[in-house]
Structure 1
Amino acid sequence: MKKYNYYLAAFTAFFIWGFFSLALKPIASYPSLDILFYRVFFSVVTLTAINLIFRRKNIKKNWADFSAMPKEKKQKITLLTLVGGIILASNWLIFIYVINHVNVKAGSLAYLICPILTTVFAFFLLKEKLNKWKWIAVCISTISCILLSLNHFQDILYSLLVASTYALYLVSQRKNSEIDKFLILNIQLLFIALLILPFYPAYSGAVPTEPVFYVCLFCIVVLFTIIPLFLNLYALKGLDSSTVGILMYTNPIINFTLAVFYFKEEVSVLQMISYSLILISIVIFNKKLLFGKKNKSKAIFEDSKSK
């Protein structure tokens, strides 16, 4: 049952992120760097407050566990946490820029490419094994991404930058499972905040005064940062990186649905074919989860029948 909780956590995280553009678009007039500054600072304050007020026992326990670890393990956890923070900050900045200053399609394409890159990175860096059905799913996904990129080659560079940074973040955090995930996220964001704080006076614009900015920022921090990132890190405790990566296709599918039904964008036959292929690839990749139990029950029934 716990395995299904990990799947649910990953699916929910990407489901939520699918609506991210609704919070970003209303503040598109603000510089991307400003949005990043405030997103990081507000996230750090919120997460730190939650940990200090409600999770002090958890902090003490994790600190005691960390202190008891061998020196090499401490160094590994520290390196993975801090490097993960840098990669995450890079992903945020590039994604905000792409959504607000390139186009939403490039951002959507990034999260179509990302699962493929995550699967490939996990295969080569983490030595995660993929069966033939998962490789078939990856190939189908690759075909769908190629079809969607036709006539949009200028978007590919931006999409690859967004996709590769988040794929690397997922793969790196798969090995960072000894410490509480909520605490790791807090440390990563605190580290990012300390890195960008010296640049804030020189590179930030005027302090925003419009209420819509802070409403959108609240949604970005709580709904599109803290909750999905925690769910994502939790899912990585029980799922391999390639599985979490393939579930990421939930995100662009929702983007596509919003484009059709909310933003009333035109849909080509090629796009319909591409997204249909994505859905097929998700089913194939998760074939064991979706149909394994049924097949097992059928086998038990047939076995009892033969007796």
Structure 2
Amino acid sequence: MPQENRTAAARPQPDGVHTGPALSRAGLFQGLGAYGLWGVLPLYFMTIAIASSTEIVANRIVFSLVFCLILIGATRAWGDLRALARDGAAMRRLALAAVLITVNWVTYAFAVLHGHTVEASLGYFINPLVSAALGVVFLKERLSRLQWTALGFGLGAVLVLTFAYGSVPVIALTLAFSFGLYGFVKNRVGRTATAVTSLTVETALLTVPALVYMGWLMSRGEATVLTNGPAHFWLMAASGIVTAVPLLLFGAAARRLPLSTVGTLQFLTPVMQFIIAVAIFREAMPPERLAGFALVWVAIILLAIDMLRRPRPRPHGEQTAPAVSDAGPARWTAAP
């Protein structure tokens, strides 16, 4: 192969297809960084536990917008943001995505602050199964036998856990379905949206309601962001970085790694959350709950086997990579 051809083959293709071992290594570290940061998110929430879950989310929205605008200014991506703002269909989908991610964030913060981190991790274990089901219902996708079997185990897990909790695991199902639908919507936004611009639009759409809510909390003396010292303020302000940095790492990783690798790395987050919940937060793990989780883990193993059996993209760009958004490629979505 001529030198120029070898050099071209090692570069990332315009559509973001994984093309070389150097990019794979970089993508792997970026993916581990993204999912690892999401995995330790419960520890961050516990440092600001004096605030309510809704106040945390309101501040997360505002400070995420500030951080995203700084990033857009630093990368001179104002043109990309204007192009996205002119795309009416994309803006409508992002408005719906903003509502879904708000539901997800509030539910997740509530779960961590009220001793339900184990159930929150269950939601993100179930999420790939929900995404697969959405593909069947809305996109008429055909699942393999292994995928159908995995869905069956997932349904069995929900039934077992319903018995274990004495009620339907509402937190886990809310997280799974809100994020599954979020990923479904985000992957139909189109290529005018990047990870930064789409998150900027979503948080911009939510900022006015968030500020109004913060004003209401302050008028009642219930806001903590300005009344509990500089350390608490800066921890709350860090929510913008905590939100945006893993998304940027994930977006970079998704363009450098095969879909099967991205999907497998996804499970690092709920595994870490589960370990933190049991080992650090000392949440209960009775046998019936463990049985439900075991069924979910069997489903995950089946999905992982199915992914690894799929053919990988060809190395010279003949196959276009899936569109990447904050929610991730194809049916695999990112974490909180």
| Bucket of the pairwise TM-score, normalised by the shorter protein | 0.7 to 0.9
Tell me if structure 1 keeps the 8 A contact 2:150–2:302: yes
Q: Which residue identity lines up with residue 241 of structure 2 in the other structure?
A: V
Instruction: Go from structure 1 to structure 2 and tell me whether the alpha carbon gap of 1:40 and 1:78 turns closer, same or farther (over 3 Å shift).
Output: same
Give CA-to-partner distance per residue, 1:251-273, whole Å, 9 cap, x none.
32222222343345564444555
Matched, 1:191 2:205: yes
User: In the alignment, which of 18, 38, 51 is matched to residue 39 of structure 2?
Assistant: 18
Matched, 1:92 2:105: yes
Tell me if structure 2 keeps the 8 A contact 1:14–1:250: yes
The alignment partner of 1:175 has SS state of coil
Q: Which residue identity lines up with residue 88 of structure 1 in the other structure?
A: I
What's the offset of the Cα at 1:163? 2.5
Q: Which residue identity lines up with residue 182 of structure 1 in the other structure?
A: V
Unaligned regions of 5+ residues in structure 1, if any?
Answer: 68-73, 295-307
Q: Which residue identity lines up with residue 18 of structure 2 in the other structure?
A: K
What's the offset of the Cα at 1:60? 1.8
The alignment partner of 1:281 has SS state of helix
1:1-307 equivalence runs, <5 A: 2=18, 13-52=34-73, 54-56=74-76, 58-61=77-80, 63=82, 74-101=87-114, 103-154=116-167, 156-179=169-192, 180-204=194-218, 205-206=222-223, 207-214=226-233, 216-223=235-242, 225-231=243-249, 248-265=266-283, 267-290=285-308
Tell me if structure 2 keeps the 8 A contact 1:118–1:241: no
Give CA-to-partner distance per residue, 1:38-93, whole Å, 9 cap, x none.
111111111111111x221x3325645876xxxxxx22111111221122122212
Instruction: Go from structure 1 to structure 2 and tell me whether the alpha carbon gap of 1:81 and 1:10 turns closer, same or farther (over 3 Å shift).
Output: farther
What's the offset of the Cα at 1:274? 4.2
Count of equivalent residues: 285
Corresponding residue for residue 299 of structure 1:
none
C-alpha RMSD of the superposition: 3.7
The alignment partner of 1:123 has SS state of helix
Q: Which residue identity lines up with residue 284 of structure 1 in the other structure?
A: L
Distance 2:197 2:112 in 1: 29
Q: Which residue identity lines up with residue 36 of structure 1 in the other structure?
A: V
Instruction: Go from structure 1 to structure 2 and tell me whether the alpha carbon gap of 1:271 and 1:151 turns closer, same or farther (over 3 Å shift).
Output: closer
Give CA-to-partner distance per residue, 1:133-177, whole Å, 9 cap, x none.
222222223333433443314462233223222211111001113
What's the offset of the Cα at 1:22? 0.6
Distance 1:65 1:213 in 2: 35
Distance 1:284 1:15 in 2: 23
Distance 2:244 2:259 in 1: 20
Unaligned regions of 5+ residues in structure 2, if any?
Answer: 1-16, 313-336
Distance 1:150 1:84 in 2: 32
The alignment partner of 2:143 has SS state of coil
Q: Which residue identity lines up with residue 81 of structure 1 in the other structure?
A: L
Corresponding residue for residue 297 of structure 1:
none
Which shifted more, 175-184 or 279-288? 279-288
Which shifted more, 272-281 or 24-33? 272-281
Give CA-to-partner distance per residue, 1:70-123, whole Å, 9 cap, x none.
xxxx22111111221122122212222232236323323332333322221232
More helix as a share of residues: 1
Distance 1:130 1:244 in 2: 19
Q: TM-score, normalized by length of structure 2? A: 0.70
Distance 2:173 2:261 in 1: 20
Instruction: Go from structure 1 to structure 2 and tell me whether the alpha carbon gap of 1:188 and 1:235 turns closer, same or farther (over 3 Å shift).
Output: farther
Q: TM-score, normalized by length of structure 1? A: 0.75
